[in-house]
Structure 1
């Protein structure tokens, strides 16, 4: 959860909350969300609802993603959340999830490149969005206030929770990690619109933008931070070699070793290698020399949509909001 106030340059975060709830736990086998997972979600969202009430939130949007998209009882959870917390959730499509992740990372894209690939590794899926920076540059780039054209996108049905469950950790760490990486690679499909962008990756004119707990954890390991510091991680540039070195450092450790990493801890120790395996698979499929780390993404994209100014209609009249239209009716 993020709570923010509008500011001259966008918005300022005034409160936030995050908790790992493992909503997709057991989803691979049963096709449904478990009662325990749903209970954990309700407990976490009750905290969010209390914070929102205390902050007198004026406008909000709550969304659910892959686990709820594919679970047979996803809609049932949405009904329960509404009844027990008062929060009204939408189960969004993979396409909207990808679009919102791009929107939340606009200022991380380097307009001197031709293409950016935004990688959002989630619990149940991984969203990939190919952004045309050349056209955005021609339109004035980030300073113009416009949004870059997303040429195409893809959603791979593999995330840190589902991959970790499919491949339980074994004593043969190297073989286990390689198996996860190979499986993740097989899930990555190249959409038609992305094929013509491969030349930019081959010519060193493309860069990656990574957003998710996996990416920020890898960055924290690379920086050898004694504790996680968002100011040092968000916006960090890492080379491909530095990224792979951090992944290799983690994959060479057992659960106890990973737990001892200050930015990993016991909560992420059993999931971070699944995320690294997905990240390595993406980097192999779309090799780029540089990766920009984002400690932001979908939530920030939602905030930007909530705070954007209404577009003007033809003739100079401002478009009314949905609420205004309903009031007029």
Structure 2
């Protein structure tokens, strides 16, 4: 797959859904969205690419086998199932690969970030690129609906946990094939709020070898901001960044009108995490057959939560200005963008960084609200897995838009994983530029 560069600050996002669901290899430079490429970066010329290929062919690659260096990639040992075991093959392979995870510093440095949410399990593996950017070399995404039934029972169901563990085993296999300089794996609202969330984390470690960290809501909001930082332009004075998840929705108010630093998270003036997401809201009000009255009831439910947010007025001096906008990162806004563009197949390159005017958002919500469940299911940007959730997401979005009216919404197909990768690479100083040798005048 062709590489493309993006950005001026650490970031990225989810690749084409059909591709990553199949677990395909990818190579993509992350940072600024594709629109920026058209006016700035022109790409490497043929001669430069040829020199790069020659250098790559001459580079000695070193791997590790049984603690010793070798020049050929170690082949994974075949998993031998115990006699009479009914355990899925993916779990056995995942444990075998996770046990082989190694961390090293080398010329080819890999970082990995895994996010297990209420609805999705996502993984990104990347290597640092030019300052402020990284190149995605592998990705995985699967809808697991870990939080299914959680809002009514307070517990993760056996079927939901089984689906998540199977997806995590695939991630373990992918991670086991890499020598990693940094790895962070997080779990969010479903594991935070479930009575048996801790037990599930222990099961994941036992069956896949992966150790997930349940993060708090403040950390989740900060990572979402970090993951989307390259989509905030210098012309922006203020924005409301929101991440509509499966079980919770994080909202950060960002004021850039005063002294500006490179780190977007430094400018968060207020934040909140609503205990509602597309899965929990759809389970409460119904997501399959949604009337206009039911949709308004969902909007009112979320609006009541926002009214209790004490810091919601911190951007009142900027909201009416032209240099204020909303920035959304979630399946809800990327779905709206795909429908708006009339895509026959979801294409992240066209969606990530897209600007949508207020009228366009109004029209898309109205269009989807007017569709039947079968029509939503048939749309290639919604599909069967999101058909019963998309209107709940639209209701959360509408409540946010009513609270902070803005003329424009920017769409981000990126989020927590990108934030984790940014923070790990910044922590290790991989983007620090080497000082050039001083030349004395003679």
1:226 to 344, 353, 358: 344
Out of 275, 283, 287, the position equivalent to 1:157 is: 275
Q: Distance in 2 between matches of 1:268 and 1:286?
A: 26
Contact 1:170-1:176 within 8 A present in 2 as well: no
**Whole-angstrom distance in 2 between the partners of 1:78 and 1:50:** 18
| The one of 62, 74, 78 aligned to 2:201 | 78
1:265 counterpart (383, 387, 390)? 383
SS at match of 1:33: coil
Determine if contact 1:108/1:235 at 8 Å carries over to the other structure: yes
Q: Give the number of the structure whose alpha-carbon radius of gyration is greater.
A: 2
Taking a change above 3 Å as real, the CA distance of residues 301 and 189 of structure 1, as seen in their structure-2 partners, is farther
Q: Quick check: 2:253–2:314 contact (8 Å CA) kept in 1? A: no
Q: Does 1:44 align with 2:181?
A: no
1:96 corresponding residue in structure 2: 219
Q: Which residue in the other structure is 1:3 paired with?
A: 125
The answer to whether the aligner puts 1:293 opposite 2:415 as a matched pair is: no
Whether the aligned pair in 2 keeps the contact of 1:111 and 1:134 (CA below 8 Å) is no
Separation of aligned partners in 2, 1:309 and 1:130: 25
Q: Residue deviations 1:47-82, cap 9 Å, x none?
A: 111111123333211101111111111111111111
Query: Tell me, which stretches of 5 or more residues in structure 2 are unaligned?
Result: 1-122, 430-442
Alpha-carbon distance between aligned partners in 2 of 1:259 and 1:193, rounded to the nearest angstrom: 38
Q: Which has the higher helix share?
A: 1
Deviation at 1:266, TM superposition (A): 0.6
Counterpart for residue 303 of structure 1: 421
Query: Hey, what's the Cα distance between the residues in 2 that align with 1:182 and 1:276?
Result: 12
Separation in 1 of the partners of 2:297 and 2:263?
A: 43
Deviation at 1:205, TM superposition (A): 3.5
For the residues of structure 2 that align with 1:172 and 1:213, how far apart are their CA atoms? 19
Q: 1:28 aligns with which of 151, 161, 165?
A: 151
1:19 equivalenced with 2:142 (yes/no): yes
Give unmatched runs, 5+ long, in structure 1: 312-329
The Cα shift of 1:112 comes to: 1.8
In structure 2, relative to structure 1, the CA distance for the partners of 1:172 and 1:226 (3 Å cut) is: closer
Q: Counterparts of 1:265-284 in structure 2 under 5 Å?
A: 265-284=383-402
Residue from 253, 256, 269 that aligns with 2:371: 253
How far, CA to CA, are the matches of 1:23 and 1:189 in structure 2?
Answer: 29
Q: Does 1:112 align with 2:229?
A: no
Q: For residue 327 of structure 2, what is the aligned residue in structure 1?
A: 209
Indicate yes or no: 2:238 matched with 1:238. Answer: no
Could you list the per-position Cα deviations for residues 10-49 of structure 1 after superposition, in whole angstroms to 9, with x for gaps in the alignment?
2111111111111111111111111111111101101111
Shift of 1:127: 0.3
- Measure how far apart 1:292 and its partner are: 0.8
Q: 2:440 corresponds to which residue?
A: none
Tell me if the contact between 2:288 and 2:388 (Cα under 8 Å) persists in the aligned partners: no
Tell me if structure 2 keeps the 8 A contact 1:59–1:306. Answer: yes
Tell me the CA shift for residue 187 of structure 1. 2.2
Contact 1:132 1:149 (C-alpha < 8 Å) held by counterparts: yes
TM-score by length of 1: 0.89
1:54-203 matches, cutoff 5 A: 54-135=177-258, 138-139=259-260, 144=262, 147-169=265-287, 171=289, 173-189=291-307, 191-203=309-321
Tell me the SS of whatever aligns to 1:202.
Answer: coil
- Name the CA distance, whole Å, in 2 between partners of 1:82 and 1:15: 22
What root-mean-square deviation, in Å, do the aligned CA atoms of Structure 1 and Structure 2 show?
1.7
State the number of aligned residues. Answer: 306
The offset of 1:116, in angstroms, is 1.1
Residue 303 of structure 1 deviates from its aligned partner by: 0.5
